[in-house]
């Protein structure tokens, strides 16, 4: 079990690393003119209630699906498994997707958890948010920590082809954790 203070420090460290990346012209996806005035990303308050245990169920023999993006390209993924959990008294289920892009064999172990929730377009980015996992993270019971969820790059600037979360990954509640929307 993670201690409360240690847990908060870990989330703060993650957020500080994101802010360093976005605030450095060498690593930022933001235009240099924006980086010059960058003061940090917007985040919800850290709330351990958004760190939940989920039961993992593998999806066997799943066919590859083509996912739409915010741009003109599409991405291919395979439904890898589902994560079932309870949050705010509601039963929830999300699907993890495994990258299957032939041009990206380096990402064969990458699992994307792209989701939407009732805060999208209001307090968080309208196009949904992401969490990353690896096939090495998969266990019968996994932790989903929404305090680490982030906006796709297309939330910050043009020119990216960000996966649009599939309809089955629409949560029936507000996730007031992780990254908030960048600006109106």
pLDDT-based confidence at residue 102 (cuts at 50, 70, 90)? confident
β-bridge pairing 90-99 and 74-87? antiparallel
Please tell me the predicted confidence (pLDDT) of residue 105. 80
Neighbours of 178 (CB within 10 A): 25
Contact 160, 75 (CB under 8 A): no
Mean pLDDT taken over the chain: 94
Please tell me the predicted confidence (pLDDT) of residue 87. 97
Asked whether residue 21 carries a pLDDT value surpassing 60, the answer given is yes
Task: Give all strands (DSSP E) within 32-149, no chain letters.
Answer: 51-58, 65-68, 74-87, 90-99, 110-115, 129-134, 141-145
d(CA 145, CA 126): 20
pLDDT-based confidence at residue 129 (cuts at 50, 70, 90)? very high
pTM above 0.85, yes or no: yes
Asked whether residue 2 carries a pLDDT value surpassing 70, the answer given is no
Backbone angles phi, psi at 183, to 5 degrees: -165, 170
Please tell me the predicted confidence (pLDDT) of residue 183. 77
Asked whether residue 130 carries a pLDDT value surpassing 90, the answer given is yes
pLDDT-based confidence at residue 3 (cuts at 50, 70, 90)? low
Per the listing, tokens 């019971």 go with 141
Asked whether residue 160 carries a pLDDT value surpassing 60, the answer given is yes
Question: Which of these, 75, 107, 82, lies nearest to 96 by C-alpha position?
Answer: 82
The secondary structure of 13-42 as a DSSP string is HHHHHHHHHHH-TTT-SS-HHHHTT-----
β-bridge pairing 110-115 and 129-134? antiparallel
Backbone angles phi, psi at 49, to 5 degrees: -65, -20
Asked whether residue 4 carries a pLDDT value surpassing 70, the answer given is no
* Residues 45-96: tens digit of each pLDDT: 999 999 999 999 999 999 999 999 998 899 999 999 999 999 999 999 999 9
d(CA 164, CA 170): 11
Question: Which of these, 129, 95, 134, lies nearest to 115 by C-alpha position?
Answer: 129
């Amino acid at each position: 079990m993670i201690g409360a203070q240690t847990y908060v420090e870990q989330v703060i460290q993650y957020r500080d690393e994101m802010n360093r990346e976005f605030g450095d012209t060498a690593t930022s996806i933001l235009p240099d003119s924006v980086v010059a005035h960058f003061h940090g990303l917007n985040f919800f308050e850290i709330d351990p209630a958004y760190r939940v245990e989920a039961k993992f169920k593998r999806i066997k023999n799943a066919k590859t699906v083509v996912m739409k993006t915010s741009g003109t390209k599409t991405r291919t993924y395979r439904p890898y498994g589902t994560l079932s959990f309870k949050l705010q008294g509601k039963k929830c289920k999300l699907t993890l997707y495994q990258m299957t892009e032939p041009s990206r064999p380096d990402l064969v172990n990458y699992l994307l958890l792209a989701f939407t929730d009732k805060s999208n377009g209001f307090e968080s980015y309208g196009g949904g948010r992401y969490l990353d996992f690896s096939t090495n993270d998969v266990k019968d019971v996994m932790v989903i920590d929404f305090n680490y969820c982030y906006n796709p790059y297309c939330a910050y600037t043009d020119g990216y082809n960000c996966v649009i979360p599939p309809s089955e990954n629409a949560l029936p509640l507000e996730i007031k954790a992780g990254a908030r929307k960048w600006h109106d």
